[in-house]
Amino acid sequence: MKLKLVAVLFLLFISCSDDDRVIDDLALEGDWVLSNVVCYCGFEEDVDFSLTTINFDSSRSMVTVTNESEYAFFRENGEHFYGGQANRINFSDGSVYFFETRGEQLTLTYEDNPDIADDEVTFVFTR
């Protein structure tokens, strides 16, 4: 019986992969300023994306969004819990974003629904 239990535990242990790791959010830590929104949508020429800022606090799994313009580009003002795995961030409303950090740039790309046309949107933030 003990041998079977050890065998099952061993199989569970080796079946786990790096793809199942918790979100690697240390690179997200800190303040970011929105610099661009890429989507199938139109904006007025004078829209100032930099009026939207976010702050990731990985110790609390919270992102604080501050929109100082009439538009709420990424999320509504306030604190939002986040979770995820690997390079995916998910929020309690079911929205999921793929993220990539390169130096001083953060890219958040909305995981689109294949049943909805033109819902692709990418947010580009800088430090």
**Rounded to 5 degrees, what angle do the CA atoms 53, 56, 59 make?**
160
21-126 domain in CATH 2.20.28?
A: no
**Which whole-number Å values give the CA distances from 104 to 33, 41, 55, 120, in the listed order?**
10, 26, 14, 23
Predicted confidence (pLDDT) per residue in 9-20, tens digit: 444 444 444 444
Q: What is the pLDDT of residue 119?
A: 64
pLDDT value of position 63 = 94
Q: Structure pTM?
A: 0.76
The predicted-structure confidence for 39-98, as pLDDT tens digits, reads as follows: 877 777 788 999 999 999 988 999 999 999 888 888 999 999 999 888 899 998 889 999
- Mean residue pLDDT across the chain: 81
